Every structure is written in C-alpha cells, then in structure tokens.
Amino acid sequence: MTKQVWFITGASSGFGEAFAHHALSAGHCVVATARDIAKLQGLVEAAPDRVLAHRLDVAKSGEAEAAVKAAVARFGRIDVLINNAGYGVVGAVEETPDAELRALMDTNFFGAAEVIRAALPILRAQRAGAIVNISSMGGQMSFAGFSAYSASKFALEGLSEALAAEVAPFGIKVLIVEPGQFRTNLAGGAMRHMPANDAYRDTVGATREFAHTMHHTQQGDPLKAAAAIAKAIEAEHTPLRLQLGQDSVDAIRAHSENLLADLRAWETVAIDTRIDASSE
Ligand code: NDP
C-alpha cells in the first residue's frame, strides 16, 4: 500500500486517537489536530518523523486553514481527511437553549464544513483523496432527548451527500460513517446534559439515564472502526454510508424499513397533489 497522509480532527481522544494509531501502524503519516496539542504528545512520541501535531479548534474560524497549510508544508499532500471532532448534547428540544444548539452546530457541522473547504483545493489539485465524515447512527434517525445531536449529524450527512456528487469528478471519495456505541469518552466529558424539565421525565428521562450508564460499557472497539473505515475508503466501490456496530446496523435497517413502509402506505396521498390539468 502506498504511504498516505491522514489529517484527523479531534485526535486527542477516542475515535480520533484510534484513527491516528491505525494510520501509523499502516505506515502512513498523520496530521493529528486538537484544541490542546499537549494531548497529542503520545502520538508524536509514537512516530516523531510521521506525526505533525497541530492546533485546531474546529469551532474557531480560520484555524482549519492554518492547519491545512501546515499539513501541506510538512507532508506535501492530504490523502484522507477525517472530520471526527464532535460532542453530544442530551435534552428535550424545549430543554435545550438556543446557545447550546448553536454551539453544537458550530462544532459538529460548521466546523467540519470549514475544514472541508480548507482542504478541498489541495484534494482537487491532487485529483485524489477521501473525505471521511464521522456522523452517527443518530445521523439518520433520532429519538427523544437527542434532537440537537441528531440535528447536527443530519446536517453533516446532508452536506456530505451533496459533496460526494460534487467532488466525484475530481477523483475524491466521500464516506459518511455512522457508528453505534463505541468505547470512547463521548458519554463522559463530551456529553452535555441540559437542565431537566420534569414534563419530559417519561420521554427524555430514559435517554438521559442511558447517556450516563453507557460510559465505558459500549461494545464497539475504536481501533476496529478505524480498520473498517480504511477498508471502505480503499475499496473500488466505496459506499456513501458505512454503519459501524451491530446496534447501528440493526437500528438503521429498522428505520429504513419504517421509512419505506410509510412511503408505501401514503404513496397514493403523496402523489395525488399534482395541479389538475383542467385547472392549468
Ligand atoms: P471523544 O469524546 O473521545 O472524542 C471527541 C473528540 O472531539 C476529542 O478529541 C475532543 O477534543 C474533540 N473535540 C470536541 N470539540 C472540538 C472542537 N471544537 N475542536 C476540535 N476538537 C474538538 O468521543 P468520540 O471519539 O466518540 O467522538 C468522536 C466523534 O465520533 C464525534 O463526532 C462523535 O459524535 C462521533 N460518534 C461517537 C460515537 C461513540 O459511541 N463513541 C457514536 C457515534 C458517533 P478535546 O480532547 O479537546 O475535548
């Protein structure tokens, strides 16, 4: 396999750190980015000649461009861009203040969009590369208490689907990744709990509880996720979406079947909305 350059956001923890270790063990170079580069010290020590640690808070405008410039200055190219930085919010729509919703979108959606815009001129000039956007199984479906998180991931998926069509002619692949529960710090410090309103105890209460108890009980292995992503981007026919974990596969299959069942059940009503020829 030829040596690649992987550019990873949120490489200080969980998935991002695992993606970096996977790339290094495959002999690739890594641009590991994080809000606090002190947290990248272990990665740098693992392969000082193949790791560039660079500051990148994806919610801060302008930092993506600087990190991409530094990546190209050090390694000359970017082959795999992984938009991984993100966090979660748990709370009902009514419990989630506007500022929390906007801050989440700034990181999970606008942050990824800015990194993509910064990297695209490089990938287009190369006429090759892959953009991997870490969504979630919550990026295709949602449930009570995860509206904000799902909104940010649905937005990322919508952008990614259009992006895939736009950049395919340049030889650039786009992969949306939809993990189920993986053992990272997401359910620890990276999950923000909104102040509870008792009116939502019966609907959001279980989600709130689940978000606490899932920490360090998740079945998914981030290093195996990294290997699955590498396999998908190296495949001749890379899928647009890759689910990860039995939980994600089961939930998205059930959700897709429900969508189709609703479509079939309401198809006649849906199409009977055309302007009558007689009234034109
Ligand atoms: P972690 O909390 O372990 O890692 C999150 C990473 O994102 C950290 O490195 C964190 O940096 C970084 N981050 C957060 N905000 C910013 C920001 N503004 N700029 C740069 N980096 C930032 O959780 P995961 O590894 O699980 O999360 C990675 C991605 O995976 C997220 O997008 C998450 O939504 C997604 N995901 C995770 C699932 C799981 O079960 N683990 C399931 C589905 C999706 P810092 O160290 O500075 O806090």
| Domain-wise residue ranges, the chain | 5-246
Which CATH class name applies to 5-246?
alpha beta
HSE-up (13 A, CA, CB side) for residue 221: 5
- pTM exceeding 0.95: yes
Express each pLDDT in 104-162 by its tens digit.
Answer: 999 999 999 999 999 999 999 999 999 999 999 999 999 999 999 999 999 999 999 99
pLDDT (0 to 100) of residue 266:
98
Query: Which of 84, 142, 219, when mutated, tests ligand 1's pocket best, judged by the most ligand atoms within 8 Å of its CB?
Result: 84
Task: For CA atoms 87, 88, 94, 96, give the dihedral sign.
Answer: negative
| Ligand 1 proximal residues by C-beta, below 6 Å | 9-10, 12-16, 34-36, 39, 56-59, 84-87, 107, 111, 134, 136, 179, 181-182, 184-186, 190, 218
Tell me how far the alpha carbon of residue 139 lies from the centroid of ligand 1, in angstroms: 15
- Scored b (16 or more CB within 10 A) or e, 183-209 reads bbbbbeeebbebeeeeebeeebeebbe
Tell me which residue has its CA closest to atom 16 in ligand 1: 85
Burial class (CB in 10 A: 0-12, 13-18, 19+), 70: middle
pLDDT (0 to 100) of residue 136:
98
DSSP summary character for residue 194: P
Tell me how far the alpha carbon of residue 154 lies from the centroid of ligand 1, in angstroms: 16
Return d(Cα 53, Cα 36) in angstroms, integer: 10
SS3 215: coil
Q: Which residues of the chain have pLDDT under 70?
A: 1
